[in-house]
Amino acid sequence: MLITKSGISKIYFTELPKEVQECFHYDPQQAAGAQAAAAQQLEAINRQTAGLDRQQKDAYKEQQARSAEQQAKVSNIQTLVDQLADLEQQEQSLLAEIGRVENAQTVARRKWVDGQGNQQYTDPAEAKLPLLRGRLENVRTEKERVRHELERAQHQP
């Protein structure tokens, strides 16, 4: 380093005259070897840093994939829970409707048997009874399928 009135300057040993180099015990071969070793060390550090960066990126991608998979699983479970609740509501509604029709049917038969009425007291909903029972069976089958699927989804790792 040279300090002058105009500022500080850096001069490399290779730019100095031989006599000045010898005053500082400068050996060009030794300096070249040290410079090559420093370059190799820097290159090794850069490779190591690049490897660590790649590992971090891979780990981040893997963690993101696991997170997305977990989110999809949670979403699927919620969908199944919602489906199951809807099917249970449908089952209850169908059972209530079937009960109402069967109750009306029983009352109408009693009146007809007792001679207090005739065919007009029969509930027209009686014709829907087989359809309601069929729908109830379909809802129960679907409910069982959803329940099994939900159990499988909840027990997956």
pLDDT classification of 65: cutoffs 50, 70, 90: very high
DSSP letter at 122 equals S
The yes-or-no verdict on residue 51 having pLDDT over 60 is yes
Model confidence band, residue 12 (pLDDT cutoffs 50, 70, 90): confident
pLDDT digits (tens, 9 = 90+) for 107-130: 655 555 445 554 444 556 667 888
Structure tokens at 18: 């031989």
Q: Supply 57's token pair.
A: 């990126």
Q: What is the DSSP string of 8-55?
A: EE---GGGS-HHHHHHTT--HHHHHHHHHHHHHHHHHHHHHHHHHHHH
The whole-angstrom separation of Cα 6 and Cα 81 is 81
Q: What pTM, to 2 d.p., does this model score?
A: 0.58
2 - beta bridge partners? 9
pLDDT for residue 121? 42
* Alpha-carbon span 103 to 92, nearest angstrom: 16
Q: Count CB-CB contacts under 10 A for residue 73.
A: 14
